[in-house]
Structure 1
């Protein structure tokens, strides 16, 4: 009994391998552009999905560490492939913090629903994790960089504010739907393989 408790608290080889594999998937999705799905008139991102999947199958620590890699990769991309708005993602508060929290909120959203309604639990975790990313990234941009964001876009503050809200709606809803459509079958499949 004591051995089981000790081993369940350890960050084991399986968790390390899961973090490595999911982080590699994030990098491949980002480098190849496959992490973005065109849903006119926007592009929905799926780069946060490995974070959600890691959190559901291995817990909040794996989710948070995978989210950390996602955030660091966002900063790397902003530094090496700059655009006029790259400065937003050079700030770790915007690029890293929300991505770490994806893993934590996804896990606890999954655990929040009681019973064995696994598909619903996975879907809820996917939606919460996706909204964590969208709301926190855009909310922090709004709080920290609204004026600079407006200046870069060449618009007034009111228009910049409307743009941030518009991005949240036009990207957020498709991303939640895509997230649910991918996370649920992937987690079901992984769980079948692991049994």
Structure 2
């Protein structure tokens, strides 16, 4: 058990780990390109593109999760360059588009690992929720720190209102994204873990 745990937290890449990184990264990119990675809500769009990062991290450790998050973040930069929108100026910066996505996997894994309780499903749910919130609040916090004035100008609001609008978006998007992440991640991870045991 200790040897397995050590392998999950180090950077050793076997064929299975490389395959998982490639497969889950591809799922995330396909969700983005197809439009299925966005769920329309009454006031915004919730994303599920970070869920493969959470699944990979909890199953295979923070290094694998971080690698999938890295590819997700790099894809965000490419998408911002090829299909620009009102906030593309921010997402071209890796501190906005890449760093928070790498941290999704790290957060999800360690929260899952250290979560209190013996029930596996609850620990996965907590890890998935906080991994999801790392994405939402991480991206929007970096936009606020680095581009508050530009964000305000793009939205046609005052600089004083930028924080309220940014964190309003974080709450409106973050809560449903966390719920969806839990709803998807728990059954998928439990099913794969059961398969691993056989």
Q: Aligning the two structures, in what range does the TM-score lie when normalised by the shorter sequence?
A: over 0.9
- Any idea what the Cα deviations from partners look like across 1:128-186, whole Å, max 9, x if unmatched? 10111111111111111000111111211123222101101100111111111111011
Give me the whole-angstrom Cα distance separating, in 2, the residues matched to 1:129 and 1:113: 13
Aligned residue runs from structure 1 range 45-84, under 5 A: 45-84=47-86
Query: How far did residue 41 of structure 1 move?
Result: 2.1
Secondary structure, in 3 states, of the residue corresponding to 1:37? Answer: strand
Q: Does 1:38 align with 2:40?
A: yes
CA shift at 1:62, angstroms? Answer: 0.3
Task: Tell me the equivalent position of 1:171.
Answer: 173
| Residue 14 of structure 1, aligned match among 13, 16, 21 | 16
Q: Which residue of 2 aligns with 1:106?
A: 108
Cα distance in 1 between the residues matched to 2:116 and 2:174: 26
Deviation of 1:115 after TM superposition, in Å, equals 5.0
Structure 2 unmatched ranges of 5 or more: none
Distance in 2, matches of 1:191 and 1:42, equals: 34
Quick one: structure 1 residues 90 and 58, their matched pair in 2 at CA, closer, same or farther if it must change by over 3 Å? same
Count of residues in correspondence between the two structures:
191
Q: Which residue is 2:87 aligned to?
A: 85
C-alpha distance 165-114 of structure 1, shift in aligned 2 (>3 A):
closer
Superposition misfits of 4+ residues, deviation over 4 angstroms: none
